[in-house]
Amino acid sequence: MKNNFDHFAFHPILQDIIGSLGFKQPTEIQEKVIPAILKGQSVIGQSRTGSGKTHAYLLPLFNQIDTKKQEVQFVITAPTRELATQIHDEVRKMIHYAEKDGTWIAKLLVGGTDKQKMADKLKTPPHIIVGTPGRILDLVKDNALSIYSASSFVIDEADLMLDLGFINDVDQLLVRSKKDIQLMVFSATIPQRLQHFFKKYLENPLYVQIDEHFSPETMEHRLIARKHRTEADIIMDISKVIQPYLAIIFTNGKKQANELAASLQDRGLDAGLIHGGLTPRERKRVLKEIQSLRYQYVVATDLAARGIDIKGVSHVINAQIPKEEEFYIHRVGRTARAGMEGTAISLYEESDLNLVNKLEQKGLTFSYVEVKNGEWKEAKPWNERQLRTKTTTNVEKEAWNKVHKTNKVKPGYKKKMKRQQESIKRQLNKKSKYKK
């Protein structure tokens, strides 16, 4: 079997689109789910951000558009308006490359736009609906749109959909769909809480998990100890030794993002800011500025970054390490995409060591570094002291076991036993050095 798109037996028009998109060969997730989608099977696709999930469902869906039917054929849902807009942009690009403008119809349905105008545009039903679940549901309830004719339904970024509380809207939409609708669920992680939803709607789905989603080989993970310094000062040092195409600086909340962005700007670093607390208009403006390369550095929160596909990220900087492994995965997944190289740099404190340990147990390799005199320098691993303490503790235990204990308690017995322990400890340490 050739490792390109030919073996999927797409229509010639799809092969033309693939050529125009510049795709040479399928990604692993595309290779595994496209045949099942073409057969009408429901799928759950789990792989990291940037692994080609969007076209894993768009290509086979476009292959099945029936222009003789002027009705909704596919519904694609996304948790944020920015992500829905970006998916819709890809859909429009494919329609344009197919030279089917006006023949294949797609509509974007998101909040922040005039609902009545949107309803008017739906008088001619589109083939493809892309949008946020809440706005699609509003229009369905208002009888401005029917999705019962749809043969396929996509839930993109399902874990974020769950986190934001939109899975109930998706549930309401599926209640208004055909019982045998083909369901496609895509996500970087599959939380346990989604299992109940899957059992309700999915019967014998193909479940594909791409293990490399955790950390691509082209990504480097670096750790820098904070050592009571400010995040802004360390990031300014980092900025002198890296030349990012685009660096996203993650914080653990909106307040921290606002403060860090202001501190960096005060120090002369032109950093953008994006998080869920900005108004839709502000977020749209900043996103446009990011896409036009107005900034080299962007301070962001998990919520905003997971719901926005920012292209060209060469570096991820964790000003604060997240509390959960999944969030680290999402953050670093913004770089090293589509085979490109990437660097993840995390500022850490003692309280972060538990998470670092868990990530190392999962196979991540961290390098411990410092920036000195405008250069990267190797630093001591965080657990070096811990290992030294553990060795000392073992010697102390062995020495204590060799101390002569007496049943008769006399004045000063504790000091005497302690002196014995110290003497034995010195002998054990001498023996240890001699063996080495």
Q: Which of 225, 62, 221 is nearest to 152 (CA)?
A: 62
Instruction: Single out the residue in 196, 213, 230 at which a domain terminates.
Output: 213
Q: What SS3 class is residue 389?
A: helix
Q: In terms of domains, do 202 and 239 share one?
A: no
Q: In terms of domains, do 343 and 237 share one?
A: yes
User: Is residue 252, in this structure, part of any structural domain at all?
Assistant: yes
Instruction: Single out the residue in 336, 353, 378 at which a domain terminates.
Output: 378
Q: In terms of domains, do 150 and 22 share one?
A: yes
- In angstroms, the Cα distances linking 141 to 41, 134, 144, 171 are 28, 11, 8, 14
Q: pLDDT tens digit string along 151-179? A: 999 999 888 888 788 989 999 999 999 98
At residue 65, what is the residue type? Answer: I
Q: In terms of domains, do 66 and 209 share one?
A: yes
Q: Which of 407, 403, 408 is nearest to 422 (CA)?
A: 403
User: Is residue 386, in this structure, part of any structural domain at all?
Assistant: no
Q: In terms of domains, do 163 and 273 share one?
A: no
Contact 205, 328 (CB under 8 A): no
Distance between CA atoms of residues 264 and 256, nearest Å:
12
Q: In terms of domains, do 244 and 157 share one?
A: no
Q: In terms of domains, do 145 and 264 share one?
A: no
Q: In terms of domains, do 239 and 185 share one?
A: no
Q: In terms of domains, do 57 and 163 share one?
A: yes
Supply the pLDDT for residue 436. Answer: 47
Q: In terms of domains, do 199 and 50 share one?
A: yes
Q: In terms of domains, do 78 and 158 share one?
A: yes
Q: Pairing state of beta strands 74-77 and 43-46?
A: unpaired
Instruction: Single out the residue in 160, 183, 213 at which a domain terminates.
Output: 213
Supply the pLDDT for residue 3. Answer: 45
Kindly calculate the radius of gyration of the chain based on its CA atoms and give it in whole angstroms: 28
Q: Which domain holds residue 399?
A: 392-435
Distance between CA atoms of residues 255 and 287, nearest Å:
20
Please provide residue 216's backbone torsions phi and psi, each rounded to the nearest 5 degrees: -65, 150
From first to last of its 436 residues, the chain has per-residue pLDDT tens of: 444 888 898 999 999 999 999 888 898 899 999 999 999 999 999 876 667 889 999 999 999 999 889 999 999 999 888 889 989 999 999 999 998 888 999 999 998 778 888 888 898 999 999 999 999 999 999 999 999 999 999 999 888 888 788 989 999 999 999 989 999 999 877 778 888 888 888 888 999 988 654 455 567 899 999 988 999 999 999 999 998 888 999 999 999 999 999 999 999 998 999 987 888 788 888 888 888 888 999 999 987 666 677 777 889 999 999 988 878 877 887 776 555 568 899 999 988 988 988 888 877 888 899 998 888 998 887 655 554 544 445 666 666 666 555 555 555 555 666 677 677 766 766 655 545 4
Looking at the whole model, is its pTM more than 0.75?
no
At residue 221, what is the residue type? Answer: H
Q: 297: which 2 tokens?
A: 């550095």
User: Is residue 1, in this structure, part of any structural domain at all?
Assistant: no
Contact 108, 95 (CB under 8 A): no
User: Is residue 298, in this structure, part of any structural domain at all?
Assistant: yes
User: Is residue 261, in this structure, part of any structural domain at all?
Assistant: yes
Give the side-chain half-sphere CA count within 13 A for 14. 19
Supply the pLDDT for residue 415. Answer: 61
Q: Which of 303, 292, 309, 308 is nearest to 327 (CA)?
A: 303
User: Is residue 399, in this structure, part of any structural domain at all?
Assistant: yes
The number of folded domains in the chain is 3
- In angstroms, the Cα distances linking 45 to 115, 268, 272 are 32, 43, 33
User: Is residue 60, in this structure, part of any structural domain at all?
Assistant: yes
Q: In terms of domains, do 239 and 374 share one?
A: yes
User: Is residue 42, in this structure, part of any structural domain at all?
Assistant: yes
Supply the pLDDT for residue 430. Answer: 60
Q: What CATH number does the domain containing 368 carry?
A: 3.40.50.300
Q: Which of 221, 227, 222 is nearest to 349 (CA)?
A: 227
